[in-house]
Structure 1
């Protein structure tokens, strides 16, 4: 089984700042993942051509099982609000995370992880700092049908606020401990390499490699963590030409 996680940056290519569906399709297809966790995913956003990026990723991988979980309504960096329970799907542009699987999914679970009150300076498109309000954070778990090397896969994108993301990761571990194992958490955790493994005591990092920024990665923000030891045949970061993050691919040994 090949597991992967990819922060899409809503499909934007850093080289020219453009968003093209065909580039994103080819980037995802090149990962050839059996399970793919997606972060910074657009649905019906004008900036990305109104594309359902989770469905596009599923098509690129030939996967029949996929789900998008919105975190906000509107466009980050422009105007947005948290998703509400009474929101009508498809009524407005949304943004969040996705999970795609070639393996059949027996059950899905959405996990709210809360919102940091932080407003912090972050680098924006022009590569200059701007004060940014944090977004609501969520996780999406998929219980895989047997036979599969893992029982449950979880996609997430945690807060950029130091400390609050640690609380979210601990909250996520509690929220999925009743699901079939081994459980694998994949995503942009917004915390440097060893810290994620230290927070998830008893969990096992399956990859240790810098993933950000994509040109010359210096820090690992993107992680794959397992609730039990799993045999790894290969683990690496992949420059796709899309996004400011490298994708992470983990190949489990047979």
Structure 2
């Protein structure tokens, strides 16, 4: 079974600054995965031409099940509010998604609050650090009816605030206790491999730098498992969109 996690940067290329939804479809076809976790996903946002990026990924992957869950509703960087899950289906959103070629038996959503403090950051085009406020986060869990039986897969995109992201990871792990079958946690955890493994208590299945995309020096994206083993090489795949590389593994039951 081939599994991947990919922070999309809402489909934007850091090379030309453009958002071309067709690039996402081509990227998903190239990855050729059975389960795909996506972060920084847009739905009905002007900056991504109003596209439903999850639906596009599902079509390209020939998935049988997919779900998008917004962490924010409205426009990121503009007028937005915390998503609750009660928004109209066509409302603009920004969050995470899971796409699967195998049927999903059940879904679950955990909402994670933003840190009160922000962090000063150097952003492209700025001459001095800018205080960046944290945003609310969300974790999406699916029980998947896989070829070897049911397994649990969860994706999330945690805070960039040190310490707070570890707190969020503990919160996510508490919700995954007792889930059926092997477990896979996928996503941009905004932390390096050692704390990700220590806090989650899971086994890292992939070791490769994923950020920044052109000359990656850090692994912020992770595939953490229980009850699975790698059956093929890890790949950190550079694609024509995003500031992250996609992290891909082939795995099977222990």
Q: TM-score range by the shorter chain?
A: over 0.9
- Residue 198 of structure 1 and its aligned partner are, at CA, apart by 1.4
Corresponding residue number in structure 2 for 1:29: 29
Alignment of 1:73 onto 2:78: no
Corresponding residue number in structure 1 for 2:179: 179
Corresponding pairs, count: 252
SS at match of 1:88: coil
Question: Which whole-Å CA distance do the structure 2 matches of 1:70 and 1:85 have between them?
Answer: 7
Give matches, 1:1-254, under 5 Å: 1-90=1-90, 92-126=91-125, 129-148=129-148, 151-201=151-201, 203-253=202-252
Deviates more, 1:177-186 or 1:40-49: 177-186
Asked if the contact 1:103/1:148 (under 8 Å) is kept, the reply is no
Question: Which whole-Å CA distance do the structure 2 matches of 1:9 and 1:76 have between them?
Answer: 12
Pair 239,125 (structure 1): closer, same or farther in 2 beyond 3 Å: same
Q: CA RMSD in A?
A: 1.6
Which runs of no fewer than 5 residues in structure 2 stay unpaired?
none
Question: Which whole-Å CA distance do the structure 2 matches of 1:123 and 1:232 have between them?
Answer: 40
TM-score, normalising length: structure 2 = 0.94
Asked if the contact 1:204/1:228 (under 8 Å) is kept, the reply is no
- Residue 153 of structure 1 and its aligned partner are, at CA, apart by 0.7
Question: Which whole-Å CA distance do the structure 1 matches of 2:144 and 2:125 have between them?
Answer: 41
Question: Which whole-Å CA distance do the structure 2 matches of 1:150 and 1:231 have between them?
Answer: 18
Question: Which whole-Å CA distance do the structure 2 matches of 1:19 and 1:171 have between them?
Answer: 33
SS at match of 1:81: strand
- Residue 120 of structure 1 and its aligned partner are, at CA, apart by 1.3
SS at match of 1:151: strand
Which runs of no fewer than 5 residues in structure 1 stay unpaired?
none
TM-score, normalising length: structure 1 = 0.94
